[in-house]
Amino acid sequence: MRKFAIGAAAALAATGLAVPSANAAPASPDLAKLVTAKDIKRHLRNLQTIADHNGGNRAAGQAGFTVSTRYVVSELKKAGYTPTVQNFDFDYFQEKSPATFGQTAPNKVDYKNGDEFTSYQYSGSGDVTADAAAVDTPAPNTDGDSGCQTEDFASFPKGAIALIQRGGCDFAVKAANAKTAGATAVVIYQKPTVADSPVGGTLGGPATLPVVGPTYKVGSDLVKLAKAGGLKLHVKTDTLNEKRTTNNVIAETKSGRSDNVVVVGAHLDSVEAGPGINDNGSGTSTLLAVAQKASKLGKKGLQNKVRFAWWGAEEEGLLGAEHYVTSLSAGDRAKIALNLNFDMTASPNGVRGVYNGSDPTAPHGSAAIQKVINDYFGGRRLPTVPSDFNGRSDYGPFLEAGIPAGGIDTGAEGIKTAEEAKLFGGEAGKPYDGCYHAKCDRLTNINWNLLDTNADGVAFAVQSFAKSTLPVNGEALRTGRAFAKPAPTAPLYRGGHLVR
């Protein structure tokens, strides 16, 4: 889900020289020892069974997610919690049959779905054959901002298919401008400054026009033909866009300060393509196992209330976490000391990524969370690398609200470097998770060593901040928010999807 960079923290951790955290948890009871791989594996097996018996997935708005919710609620009740199921509506999208895209003139060409183009999430349905027109083509080898302004379409022929290069603004803005100009379909092709693959983005909400995203090579070749005159394209999409209801599951410890809450989250949903056992059954199951043992810490260990959350519709754009954060009053948001997020903790060719709270755009206190987790792994001579806060997981709405955040992940479709392979083993030049967002994300896709050691880090972080948030916020939230909120940056991703 994100890129990794080797930094000073990683170098210290790799040599075992990281300084033990000043926020270190007491030796007994040790939550990291109480939570076992066996506990987590049981949950993973059950999530796999749920998916296998409910259409092969646990996607929001579908049966597998509903049953997954019931499972988490049942397990929490057994552990003595009184969980809340927080319902919310969302825009459900389904591609009912594969899209087709090609030229009908001056040549007859059918492009390959998945290799040369993909349809956008929330694309409308349609079967369009029409002339194609290039919109504000950027200079060669530049990103530009094609289609980001309404004036880009000043000479656009009504009824044509718009050819727009990615870059400069959200895909939704480009598609909306094209529709206003009278386009009958939209082709937003890849920009030249990234690997030449289909775009695979999201429009953020339902569109009424077919929208597809080819590679830069396909798109730039089509632009040349369009400028020469006589280019006709065929775009066909078959999609479902409708409102559905999904939910978050929330449960909190009975003990601890209610004005200094530690929110610990993982998304419960999968994509429609598969059961999502690494993404994010790994985080879901680890969090559930930690919650089931947290009461062992007692009142002395639970100085701050811990609120466990399993988010819905993360794969649709972080919708569950966003709904939760925006539904809170200003006063209740001020009572949240920090957010811990765990999304993909067992990638088969993964690394041990710790969210980079030192990023200058992150709320103050986030760097302290990173240090606590890095110091724990450094003390065990387990290497870490910084993981970018790039908007691809449920920490996003918390960061936007000025709440410090941190956590662990192990990588998605990004490629492992040679340096990372030396630190963590595995194969350089291959994805961290070759089954990311795919049917094969099953129990066989789990890196059990990473899962086990990362679970220890999750448990340690929860125990540490349940006892004290001193390094993060000075434990001074009784009179309201005490954090500076850096200027936000425009996100490149929401959930697992590109938005721009």
**Is 250 in contact with 83 (CB distance < 8 Å)?**
yes
Strands 126-134 and 232-252: antiparallel
Contact 186, 178 (CB under 8 A): yes
Q: Which residues pair with 233 in a beta bridge?
A: 103, 130
Whether 335 and 410 have beta carbons less than 8 Å apart is answered as no
Distance of CA 96 to the CA centre of its chain: 24
Q: Which amino acid is at 92?
A: Y
- Strand pairing partners for 105? 232
Scan for tokens 């470097």, then name that residue.
Answer: 417
Other beta carbons within 10 Å of 331: 10
Q: Where are the beta strands (DSSP E) in 166-271?
A: 185-189, 211-214, 232-252, 257-267
Closest CA to 131 of 104, 112, 149, 109: 104
Residue 471 has which token pair? 């390094």
Token pair, residue 118, equals: 């993909």
d(CA 92, CA 95): 10
Q: Residue 1 and residue 17: Cα distance in Å, rounded?
A: 28
CA distance 396 to 400: 6
- Per-residue tokens: 476: 């001074």
What is the distance between the alpha carbons of residues 293 and 206, in angstroms, rounded to a whole number?
42
Element (H, E) at 423: helix 418-424
| CA dist 251 → 29, 84, 268, 293 (Å) | 22, 6, 14, 13
* CA distances to 112, 120, 129, 184, 388 from 209, in Å: 20, 11, 13, 6, 34
For the chain, helix, strand, coil in percent to 5 are 35, 25, 45
Query: Which residue among the candidates 116, 272, 314, 420 is catalytic per the annotation?
Result: 314
- Residue pointed to by tokens 């449960």: 251
The question of whether 314 is a catalytic residue gets the answer yes
Peptide bond into 374 cis (omega under 30): no
Question: Which amino acid is present at 231?
Answer: L
How far is Cα 73 from Cα 231, in angstroms, rounded to an integer?
A: 56
Contact 303, 23 (CB under 8 A): no
Please tell me whether residue 163 adopts helix, strand or coil conformation. strand
Q: Which residues are catalytic?
A: 314
